[in-house]
Amino acid sequence: MGKTSRTVLRPGMILLKGYISLSDQVKIVERCRQLGLGPGGFYQPGYREGTKLHLRMMCLGKNWDPQTSQYGDHRPFDRAKPPNIPVEFLEITEKAIRDSHVLIGQDSKRVNPEKILPWMSPDICLVNFYTQSGHLGLHQDKDESEESLRRGLPVVSFSIGDSADFLFGDERDADKAQKVVLESGDVLIFGGKSRNIFHGITVIHPNTAPRLLREDANLQPGRLNLTLRQY
């Protein structure tokens, strides 16, 4: 597992390095595998024009349809209802926001941390699995409700498995974007003024996942990413 550290990348955007313990990572992989094999489990999504995304996806709580960019209670192509979000995912999310507030409070002593990074109660979790050749172009997460976006309710992202290059910036221009490497166990949060950043995954670094995940959890080569948010 990588080193632990906590960094304010920009207002409302926090990187918690090495935040999820290896034992909890194993549990998350096993839980996602269990859910992914059942109704509403993993599939390869595509856009309306037929282009397939370079990942496999599962929705928890609510379904997100990449063809319409809308959320719903059922998956259109098979009418499957998304599984519920496991309580342990919610607990990690709550703790990560709470610890981020402590960090923001230290960084901005005269400001209420919740004004910079609002609280949220996740009812959506998108689970993506990227193979070692997987990627996702720069985009904004802007399909949640108008109120959620207006309030800047954060996206909380768990990274598990192989490391990945994560780009982010104010424009859909990779040349102007900043980059951080997300490693297994990292939690990234972006809300408040950073809620509408453009972001994406450009490179998956092969064979960088912790050995315990490969051996104990039988995680396949690639990166498992969970993003929790409130509709």
User: 199, 136 in Cβ contact below 8 A?
Assistant: no
* pLDDT higher than threshold 60 for residue 210: yes
pTM (2 d.p.): 0.95
Domain containing residue 155:
5-229
Condensed to tens digits (0 to 9), the pLDDT of residues 135-185 reads: 999 999 999 999 999 999 999 999 999 999 999 999 999 999 999 999 999
Could you give the 3-state DSSP secondary structure of residue 34? helix
φ/ψ (deg, to 5) at 9: -80, -35
User: Tokens 């959506």 identify what position?
Assistant: 124
**Structural domains in the chain (count):** 1
Give the model's confidence band at 224: pLDDT under 50 very low, under 70 low, under 90 confident, else very high: very high
The per-residue pLDDT for range 67-83, each reduced to its tens digit, is 899 999 999 999 999 99
Q: 102: domain CATH number?
A: 2.60.120.590
User: Over 70: is that where the pLDDT of 50 sits?
Assistant: no
Q: What is the pLDDT of residues 173-188, one digit of tens each?
A: 999 999 999 999 999 9
**Residue 143 identity:** D
Structure confidence at residue 49 (pLDDT): 72
The pLDDT, as a whole number, for residue 2 is 60
If you average pLDDT over every residue of the chain, what do you get? 95
In DSSP terms, which residues pair with 15 in a beta bridge? 7, 188
**Beta carbons of 35 and 58 less than 8 angstroms apart:** yes
d(CA 115, CA 101): 10
